[in-house]
Amino acid sequence: MIIGLTGKNGSGKGVAADFLKELGYQYYSLSDVIREEMVKKEIQVTRENLIKFANEMRTTYGPSILAEKILAKLDPDKNYVVDSIRNPFEVETLRKRKDFHLLVIEAEPKTRFERIKERAREKDPVTYEDFLKIDAAEAGSRDPASQQLNRTQELADAAVGNNGTIDEFREQLKQVIRTLSANTQRPDWNTYFMGIAQMVALRSNCIKRKVAAVLVKDRRIISTGYNGTPRGVKNCNEGGCPRCNHFGQSGANLDACLCSHAEENAIVQAAYHGVSVKGATIYTTFSPCLTCTKIIINAGIAEVIYNTAYPMEDLSIRLLKESGITVTQHTLPAKN
């Protein structure tokens, strides 16, 4: 889960981020992207310069540039807190991840001003009037590349008030995170196993096409396979298969190919280790060819689920269905 934080100066975003870090969330701040660029250009890092330089970056590279740089660093299997979100385009970019949730931290202006006075940072406003002027300037602008805090806050999934004690604030955060966690979507079983098959395909040594198959029984993986030359034979990508290395037309001269197919390898691996595949489901990144289709049928596999249609799939699909095997296409969405 990715928790994004937005809110006005002195609202308590830093306190929220520290609390989430205690819970194991990894921390990123869009402001850190700006600081890194400023340090490279030897520009003094002050709040005024940060705002100015951020606006320049958004104008030059697009209003979502800061979020794009952070998004590229986020792994799919970790929890993150992303601070300093100040522009609607940044929210739009981060929402490319379906596990992103934006929290707005809210506090009364006078409360925020007292906090700013207490932290006593250089060039922070000294009077309440100056504070309100800066607050209004940061809240919105006609320039889409500038800070748009009001519009950004309107996009929040939840709001957390921070006008009381830190303990009260932390308790509110706990409640919001519990609610968001309960609504987090997990991949269904077909997406889960097909995603694993796509990762297995990266092990393929075939230079023509990378394909993988995953055999599953009772929601447990019993075997995997990917296409490539047989055990002990020089890898295809090292010149082991003359047909593939000839770079001929796709689908031609298949009888001269030395590479074993992914489905074939998955079934053979199971047999090699004495594991029955009867009644199993096979997940394949491509629909099986005719040869693999016949192997699948005779192995007693009950279901075939594939991601992408193989160019010569019609006869294979008809044969699988005729033999009583359930056939389903489960296409995974393209990755950003």
Positions marked catalytic: 263
Calpha distance 179→14 (Å, rounded): 21
Token pair in block for residue 8: 């006005």
Token pair in block for residue 244: 């593939």
Please name which of 147, 168, 190, 178 lies closest in space to residue 53, comparing C-alpha atoms: 147
- Residue 135 belongs to what H/E stretch? helix 128-139
Calpha distance 270→143 (Å, rounded): 61
Q: At residue 64, what are phi and psi to the nearest 5 degrees?
A: -105, 10
Please name which of 287, 320, 278 lies closest in space to residue 305, comparing C-alpha atoms: 287
Calpha distance 74→148 (Å, rounded): 24
Provide the residue type at 78 as one letter. Answer: K
Strands 212-217 and 281-286: antiparallel
Please name which of 45, 91, 94, 55 lies closest in space to residue 73, comparing C-alpha atoms: 94
Instruction: List the beta strands (DSSP E) in the chain.
Output: 2-7, 26-29, 80-83, 100-106, 158-161, 212-217, 220-226, 281-286, 303-308, 326-329
Please name which of 301, 308, 304, 296 lies closest in space to residue 328, comparing C-alpha atoms: 304
For residues 38 and 53, the answer to whether their CB atoms sit within 8 Å is yes
How many helical (H) and strand (E) elements, i.e. helices and strands, does the chain have? 14, 10
| 42: alpha, beta or left? (left if phi > 0; alpha if psi -120 to 50) | left
